[in-house]
Chains A and B, each alone.
Chain A
């Protein structure tokens, strides 16, 4: 941590990496066919899937990004993560059980089938590759940071080692290996975050240290005195919060590595309960992360310690080292590593599956399952190596990149998935419009703002303020909903086979034309979308810029 080798941390990291590889080999023994490799034979129960989703969701951003965001954004960071926790429940009520009944392997597969279009399936693969890469590079970069802290050497070695280990166990174990690894990793990361946090809060004199999510109230008066704006929700326009919610809720539905977990469970009931379990545990860790962010700001304010802005991502490790012992620090390192590996594994899985199952199979129909399985293994290996190389020069703050991934996925994939489930009249042309419009309207601003470094206000003066670009999601998501509804109305109705899929996804044993066809739903969607999009331009009388 101070530039030297941290032996205990290395031991813990090696244990996590070794157990992950062993579970990968064990997963290999359970894998007999393509369905086993892609979706663990659709045999995962609610508890296992819920735990696997926890570690998939709580990526390294929980250890590195979130506390840095709280450091800079205070209340805003907490609002972002409250929306992220709630997003799982949106996925529960709008998508999860229905996607499970669809019996496909991936979101791209679903889009291709529901919108009767192999072309849309290929476009969905392209979008998936972009959002998954954005999501992945931040996480692999985080592995580099961990190794840098351990060994005091450039993080490139951490990126290489972490990237190759996760590639190895995903390639070997397929979805069985990924699922049981994620279950193991979620237990490790939850304990590794909360137990050291208890010790940190205790050292800071917080009497409620034994329950971090709600235990630091006693330190609030001091915080208000020293950093009064910590609890300020007023520094952004109200539409910012709406945008964060839309981006999180539809982003999670649009991010194929989250959705893929639902194709692994036994039935729709398991899909529902695994989400409830996941939301509870994600909420527990997230509310603890707020406490960690609070502790960081409080520590600096009360002890007069200086932490450089570039070190904000390392706040968890800095606090753990300063206020606890080496065992706790080593445990935290293990948790962070587990968090990174689990998320990267999920991303590798969807990228490999997408390339072979949704791209190659469409271009070369008739390919045998055995050949597909072999190709999948090699593709996942190739994707792992390429992603590792891409992560050598990652963006500065990892959470910001992931938020962009959410925004792009929300508009371009989340919208067609939700309307495809809930509205029979949703057509191929409508879905194509939403996907292309959503992608361009989100990805171009990403390039302009993050890659070219042009301020968001240059795109629109309404995108001012802290993380002002987030408000883009209050335009892109409603715009895609409205565009998809309007274009679907203007184009010929979907074929019967596509309409039948909607009834089947909802569990009906028969087909009836009148279900999920009412006019109220599309009218409500367009009206609601218009209201939300307009909110960005209004309310300046109530809330001056």
Chain B
């Protein structure tokens, strides 16, 4: 794959992951309310991780560790890709 396409794809994939982890996740909770939680207000007591309702735990973890991990992987890969770009890459 051409270097500049690699850069574009890496950026697009990381952006979509960050968008999912950092906010759009809650859209799925709202849209899939009955699917994920079942009817009724007692949903929060049904599924837990470390004592938290699962959806809340996911927001905490993905909104912090999740996005940071995506950023770290991006930075590592870009450190390598940058050398390729600075050498002129492949177009």
Answer whether residue A453 sits at the interface, using C-beta atoms and an 8 A cutoff: no
Encode A87-107 as 1/0 by CB contact (under 8 A) with B. 111101110010000000000
Stretch of A152-160, A269-277, A399-407 with 4 or more beta carbons under 8 angstroms from chain B = A269-277
Nearest residue in B to A247 (C-beta to C-beta)? Answer: B23
- Interface size band for A: 35 or more
Interface residues of B in 55-73 (CB under 8 A from A): 55-56, 59-60, 62-65, 67-68, 70-72
Answer whether residue A461 sits at the interface, using C-beta atoms and an 8 A cutoff: no
- State in angstroms the CA–CA spacing of A509 and B89 once bound together: 9
Nearest residue in A to B74 (C-beta to C-beta)? Answer: A93
Nearest residue in A to B22 (C-beta to C-beta)? Answer: A86
Query: Within the complex, which residue of A216, A220, A272, A509 is in contact with B78, where a contact is CB–CB below 8 Å?
Result: A272
Query: Hey, which chain B residues are within 8 Å of A94, CB to CB?
Result: 11, 15
Answer whether residue A539 sits at the interface, using C-beta atoms and an 8 A cutoff: yes
Q: Which of B24, B59, B63, B85 has the most CB of A within 10 A?
A: B63
Query: Hey, which chain A residues are within 8 Å of B18, CB to CB?
Result: 86, 89-90, 93, 249
Query: Hey, which chain B residues are within 8 Å of A88, CB to CB?
Result: 67, 71
Query: Hey, which chain A residues are within 8 Å of B86, CB to CB?
Result: 507-509
* Contact call A272/B59, Cβ cutoff below 8 A: no
Query: Hey, which chain B residues are within 8 Å of A238, CB to CB?
Result: 26-27, 30-31
Answer whether residue A241 sits at the interface, using C-beta atoms and an 8 A cutoff: yes
Known: A213-B60, A276-B72. A85 touches B67 (CB 8 A): yes
A118 to chain B minimum Cβ distance, whole angstroms, is 30
* Contact call B75/A273, Cβ cutoff below 8 A: yes
Query: Within the complex, which residue of B48, B50, B71 is in contact with A214, where a contact is CB–CB below 8 Å?
Result: B50
* Contact call B56/A92, Cβ cutoff below 8 A: no
* Contact call A241/B26, Cβ cutoff below 8 A: yes
* Contact call B51/A217, Cβ cutoff below 8 A: yes
Stretch of A8-16, A76-84, A108-116 with 4 or more beta carbons under 8 angstroms from chain B = A76-84
A500 to chain B minimum Cβ distance, whole angstroms, is 15
* Contact call A213/B64, Cβ cutoff below 8 A: yes
- State in angstroms the CA–CA spacing of A516 and B22 once bound together: 27
* Contact call A90/B15, Cβ cutoff below 8 A: yes
Answer whether residue A4 sits at the interface, using C-beta atoms and an 8 A cutoff: no
Interface residues of A in 494-544 (CB under 8 A from B): 506-510, 512, 514-516, 521, 539, 542-543
Nearest residue in A to B63 (C-beta to C-beta)? Answer: A82
Nearest residue in A to B62 (C-beta to C-beta)? Answer: A82
Interface residues of B in 9-52 (CB under 8 A from A): 11, 14-15, 18-19, 21-24, 26-27, 29-31, 33, 41-42, 44-45, 48, 50-52
* Contact call B31/A89, Cβ cutoff below 8 A: no
* Contact call A82/B22, Cβ cutoff below 8 A: yes
Interface residues of A in 463-494 (CB under 8 A from B): none
Answer whether residue A224 sits at the interface, using C-beta atoms and an 8 A cutoff: yes
B24 to chain A minimum Cβ distance, whole angstroms, is 6
Answer whether residue B91 sits at the interface, using C-beta atoms and an 8 A cutoff: yes
- State in angstroms the CA–CA spacing of A217 and B54 once bound together: 11
Stretch of A282-290, A314-322, A333-341, A427-435 with 4 or more beta carbons under 8 angstroms from chain B = A282-290
B2 to chain A minimum Cβ distance, whole angstroms, is 9
Query: Hey, which chain A residues are within 8 Å of B51, CB to CB?
Result: 216-221
* Contact call B67/A283, Cβ cutoff below 8 A: yes
B61 to chain A minimum Cβ distance, whole angstroms, is 8
* Contact call B60/A214, Cβ cutoff below 8 A: yes
A337 to chain B minimum Cβ distance, whole angstroms, is 26
* Contact call B27/A276, Cβ cutoff below 8 A: no
* Contact call B89/A508, Cβ cutoff below 8 A: yes
* Contact call A241/B27, Cβ cutoff below 8 A: yes
Query: Within the complex, which residue of B33, B67, B78 is in contact with A234, where a contact is CB–CB below 8 Å?
Result: B33
* Contact call A543/B30, Cβ cutoff below 8 A: yes
Known: A94-B11, A272-B78, A543-B30. A86 touches B67 (CB 8 A): yes
Known: A241-B26, A283-B65, A508-B85. A75 touches B70 (CB 8 A): no
11 A-B pairs besides A238-B26, A269-B79, A273-B75 with CB distance below 8 A are: A85-B22, A89-B74, A90-B19, A92-B74, A97-B78, A231-B44, A231-B56, A238-B30, A241-B27, A242-B23, A287-B60
**A-B pairs with the 3 shortest C-beta distances?**
A217-B51, A86-B22, A82-B63
A: residues with CB less than 8 A from B are 75, 78-79, 81-83, 85-90, 92-94, 97, 213-214, 216-221, 224, 228-229, 231-234, 236-239, 241-242, 244-245, 248-249, 268-269, 272-273, 275-276, 279-280, 283-284, 286-287, 290, 506-510, 512, 514-516, 521, 539, 542-543
What would be 8 A-B contacts, judged by CB atoms less than 8 Å apart? A86-B22, A93-B14, A217-B52, A237-B30, A238-B26, A245-B19, A272-B74, A290-B60
